[in-house]
Amino acid sequence: MLKQWITKAPSALPAEFLEWQVKLRHWTAVARHGAPHAGVAPLLCVQQPGVGPGVSLHAIICGLLPEAGHLAERTREFRALYERHAVGGARAVYDAGIEYLKAYYRSPAEFDAQSLTALLPADTPAVRALRASPSCALLFYVFDLDDRTEEGRFRCLQVNGFAELHQAGPIYDNVWWHHALFHGKVDGHVVVRFVHQSTWDTAFGALEAVTG
């Protein structure tokens, strides 16, 4: 069923979507001291034969990768920040990380325009499903009647693509050290890089392609 909704070739995320993601993350760093917004917490839809209509949905927090030319540099900065403040404890590391993010999320041009990421425990049904079939979708649903900001306005988007699983290497290291700043070091995890193929607006029963 999900395969009917995706195209074959990777493509850039819609420019408006990537700009929203960068602005939203900057806003949460400044206004919420890093407390996640619903806009960075999509549902991951994976193929799951035998479960309901053949898919399962999993709550995740997604991230942005630096663009390739700065990936290693940003990883070094994450690691140095962690190691410099670790002596002060987890709170000191977290606070330093938030200050870093206020300047980090500046321009969409500084981030990989084709993907989103997540760090997940390696032995979970969601990851096992992605190993069996990498086709997937991220469902972004933001609905808050009290939020009048551009970052928080209503959105209902299905981001279709395929998953790359990274257990080592530059992408893994970048996401792992970023995660460590705010949640500590973890073992037994895998980085999922969701490579974009198409985006659809699904608000109120619609299914309209989002381009640009």
* Nearest residue to 22 via CA among 78, 74, 65, 61: 65
* Amino acid 144: pLDDT: 81
99: left (phi over 0), alpha (psi -120 to 50) or beta: alpha
- Which is it for strands 115-121 and 189-201: parallel, antiparallel or unpaired? antiparallel
* Global confidence as pTM: 0.93
Give the phi and the psi of residue 64 in degrees, each rounded to 5.
-110, 140
- Give the residue with greater pLDDT, 91 vs 149: 91
Q: Binning pLDDT at 50, 70 and 90, where does residue 201 land?
A: very high
pLDDT of residue 149: 80
Domains and CATH numbers, the chain: 2-31+43-210 (2.30.110.10)
As a whole number, mean pLDDT of residues 50-76 equals 97
Enumerate the H helices of 86-141 as residue ranges.
Answer: 90-104, 125-132
What's the mean pLDDT in 84-95? 98
The reported pLDDT for the residue numbered 8 is: 60
**Is the pLDDT reported for residue 135 higher than 70?**
yes
In the predicted model, is pLDDT for residue 7 greater than 70?
Answer: no
pLDDT band, very low/low/confident/very high, at 150 (cuts 50, 70, 90): confident
Average the pLDDT over 180-187 and give the result: 98
Q: Residue 176 — very low, low, confident or very high, per pLDDT cuts 50/70/90?
A: very high
pLDDT tier at 153, thresholds 50, 70, 90:
confident
Q: What are the two backbone dihedrals, phi and then psi, of residue 41, each rounded to the nearest 5 degrees?
A: -125, 70
Give the pLDDT of residue 81: 98
Tell me how far apart the terminal alpha carbons of the chain are, to the nearest angstrom. 26
> 16, 170, 27, 52: which is closest to 106 by C-alpha?
27
pLDDT in tens, 13-61: 999 999 999 999 999 999 999 999 999 999 999 999 999 999 999 999 9
How far is it, in rounded angstroms, from Cα 65 to Cα 118? 10
The distance between the two most distant Cα atoms of the chain, rounded to a whole number of Å, is 51
